[in-house]
């Protein structure tokens, strides 16, 4: 039997780094991604037909991307890596005899099944944005910060002419500067982070000089584009009839409550909003991998607790592209050794392990600074839709808790349908939990995306024995 080798799921920084590290050590790799071009969200590329001659104008760390891109091309040409694009993986099946079967959907409507065999699997599925609800957040013109960036990087389009960038997190900086560089007027960058908490974490944050320099660079760009930055402020509401026309923002007090006297209205046609990121853990969860809180558990080699399954990048905890690259690199080396039947020597990647430890510590500090306002849920009016797919209002969620006794997210879901729509609670999960006053719980979704029933029925038929 020929060895199918390693399947890497996700062609972002983590997946690419792992692919190159494993392939360079003689492992046959199949790199599977849902997009048409490698790069993931961070290195999302304009469609080739758009003929961008200077795509780097929309990017950071372009040289790292060039190395990944060129390395991938070389391996694909040499036949050591098979690149599989436009494949939306919905399930990874563990098979005792031949490792794993990766099930994907492909084709123009993503309804044709595809199956890829592998001895080992690396989950590099990345993350997506967390947005907490507020009145008006379903209006067209309100987009996630990362979504605005993805549309800009991939399609070279802007959502409108005048944008407010709001929420909290380091992602707001590249989004605000990116939109401004591409010609949008950015009326304000509104972040709920309290400047005092930066001071309290200054030692941990200053421990990564490269990151400090990156921050300073963004600050310079914000100045140059005359973007007003309002820290310890929050968006209270988005206004408009058929589409966004303005937002109301306000300052926060020491306890994270609105300072009502500071409310003001900003005219804009775009609100790019984000309250942080969440890891994609569906595939790991369905494989039975341990998930701690929101993050897939990995050991020092980036192995999950399921034999043959590794994980790297944002799926193991949000920490940015540099950390994803480092984790992917370590995973690739570990996989190469393990598939060759030997235990790897961690001394071989000591420098990468130090970088990983430093970046994880840095992002722990970052996470404690960039937090949504403590009392954000109080601003969510009863009439505000919290589950966008099923149009469940905050009032209905509160009623389920107060009148019907729902004490956890699952019961809220059963009583209100919040989280039962197309996105399966990925978008509304944190919002519904906050409004209901319940703990956020892991999604526990059997499949990573909607699957046609016919595909599901046929996926059980295995021809190999």
- Residue numbers at the binding site for another protein (CB under 8 A): 34, 36, 41, 46-55, 57-58, 108-109, 128-129, 138-144, 146-152, 154-160, 181-183, 242-243, 388-391, 421-423, 426-427
Residue with smaller CB distance to another protein, 143 or 359: 143
Quote the least distance from Cβ 320 to another protein, whole Å. Answer: 17
Residue with smaller CB distance to another protein, 24 or 151: 151
DSSP state of 250: E
Residue with smaller CB distance to another protein, 76 or 423: 423
Quote the least distance from Cβ 98 to another protein, whole Å. Answer: 30
Residue with smaller CB distance to another protein, 318 or 365: 318
How many other CB atoms sit within 10 Å of the CB of residue 241? 7
- What is the C-alpha radius of gyration for the chain, rounded to an integer number of angstroms? 22
- Structure-block tokens of residue 359: 């970046």
Quote the least distance from Cβ 225 to another protein, whole Å. Answer: 10
Handedness of CA 423, 424, 426, 429 (dihedral sign): positive
Residue with smaller CB distance to another protein, 62 or 297: 62
Residue with smaller CB distance to another protein, 103 or 211: 103
Q: What is the DSSP string of 262-309?
A: G-EEEE-SEEEEE--EEE--HHHHHHT--EETTEE---TTSB-SSTTE
Q: How far apart are CA 310 and CA 247, in angstroms?
A: 43
Pairing of strands 277-279, 270-274: unpaired
Quote the least distance from Cβ 36 to another protein, whole Å. Answer: 8
Quote the least distance from Cβ 257 to another protein, whole Å. Answer: 28
Quote the least distance from Cβ 54 to another protein, whole Å. Answer: 5
Q: How far apart are CA 235 and CA 192, in angstroms?
A: 9
Quote the least distance from Cβ 278 to another protein, whole Å. Answer: 10
Quote the least distance from Cβ 13 to another protein, whole Å. Answer: 15
Q: How far apart are CA 324 and CA 307, in angstroms?
A: 21
Quote the least distance from Cβ 390 to another protein, whole Å. Answer: 8
Residue with smaller CB distance to another protein, 184 or 359: 184
Q: How many CA atoms lie within 13 A of 54 on its CB side?
A: 2
Residue written as token pair 């009326």: 187
Residues 6 or more apart whose CB falls under 8 angstroms from that of 239 comprise 136, 139, 245, 246, 247, 248, 265
Q: What is the DSSP string of 336-360?
A: HHHHTTS---GGGGHHHHHHHHHHH
- Structure-block tokens of residue 78: 């040499």
How many other CB atoms sit within 10 Å of the CB of residue 242? 8
Residue with smaller CB distance to another protein, 76 or 156: 156
Residue with smaller CB distance to another protein, 146 or 372: 146
Residue with smaller CB distance to another protein, 104 or 339: 104
Residues 6 or more apart whose CB falls under 8 angstroms from that of 325 comprise 13, 14, 16, 17, 64
DSSP state of 315: G
Pairing of strands 120-123, 6-9: parallel
Q: How many CA atoms lie within 13 A of 226 on its CB side?
A: 5
DSSP state of 425: T
Quote the least distance from Cβ 327 to another protein, whole Å. Answer: 21
């Amino acid at each position: 039997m020929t060895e199918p080798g390693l399947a890497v799921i996700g062609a972002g920084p983590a997946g690419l780094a792992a692919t190159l590290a494993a392939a360079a050590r003689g492992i046959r790799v199949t790199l599977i991604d849902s997009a048409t071009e490698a790069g993931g969200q961070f290195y999302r590329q304009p469609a080739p037909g758009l003929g961008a001659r200077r795509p780097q104008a929309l990017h950071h760390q372009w040289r790292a991307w060039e190395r990944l891109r060129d390395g991938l091309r070389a391996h694909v040409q040499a036949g050591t890596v098979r690149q599989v694009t436009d494949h939306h993986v919905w399930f990874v099946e563990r098979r005792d005899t031949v490792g794993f079967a990766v099930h994907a959907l492909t084709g123009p409507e993503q309804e044709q099944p595809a199956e890829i065999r592998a001895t080992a699997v690396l989950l590099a599925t990345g993350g997506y944005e967390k947005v907490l609800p507020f009145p008006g957040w379903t209006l067209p013109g309100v987009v996630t910060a990362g979504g605005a960036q993805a549309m800009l990087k991939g399609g070279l389009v802007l959502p409108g002419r005048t944008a407010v960038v709001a929420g909290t997190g380091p992602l707001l900086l590249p989004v605000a500067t990116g939109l401004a560089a591409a010609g949008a007027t950015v009326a304000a960058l509104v972040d709920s982070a309290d400047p005092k908490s930066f001071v309290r974490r200054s030692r941990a944050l200053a421990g990564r000089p490269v990151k400090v320099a990156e921050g300073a660079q963004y600050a310079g760009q914000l100045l140059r584009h005359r973007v007003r930055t309002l820290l310890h402020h929050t968006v209270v509401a988005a206004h408009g009839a058929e589409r966004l026309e303005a937002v109301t923002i306000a300052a926060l007090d020491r306890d994270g409550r609105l300072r009502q006297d500071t409310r003001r209205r900003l005219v804009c046609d775009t609100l790019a909003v984000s309250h942080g990121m969440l890891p994609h853990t569906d595939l790991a969860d369905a494989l039975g991998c341990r998930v701690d809180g929101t993050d897939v558990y990995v050991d020092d080699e980036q192995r999950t607790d399921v034999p043959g399954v590794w994980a790297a990048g944002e799926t193991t905890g949000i920490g940015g592209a540099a950390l994803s690259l480092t984790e992917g690199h370590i995973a690739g080396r570990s996989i190469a050794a393990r598939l060759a039947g030997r235990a790897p020597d961690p001394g071989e990647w000591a420098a990468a392990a130090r970088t990983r430890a430093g970046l994880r510590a840095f992002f722990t500090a970052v996470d404690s600074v960039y937090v949504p306002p403590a009392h954000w849920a109080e601003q969510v009016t009863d009439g505000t839709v919290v589950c966008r797919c099923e149009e469940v209002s905050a009032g209905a969620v509160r009623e389920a808790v107060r009148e019907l006794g729902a004490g956890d997210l699952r019961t809220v879901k059963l009583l209100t349908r919040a989280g039962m729509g197309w996105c399966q609670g990925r978008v509304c999960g944190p919002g519904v939990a906050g409004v209901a006053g319940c703990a956020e719980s892991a999604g526990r979704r059997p499949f990573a995306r909607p699957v046609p029933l016919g595909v599901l029925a046929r996926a059980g038929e295995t021809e190999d024995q």
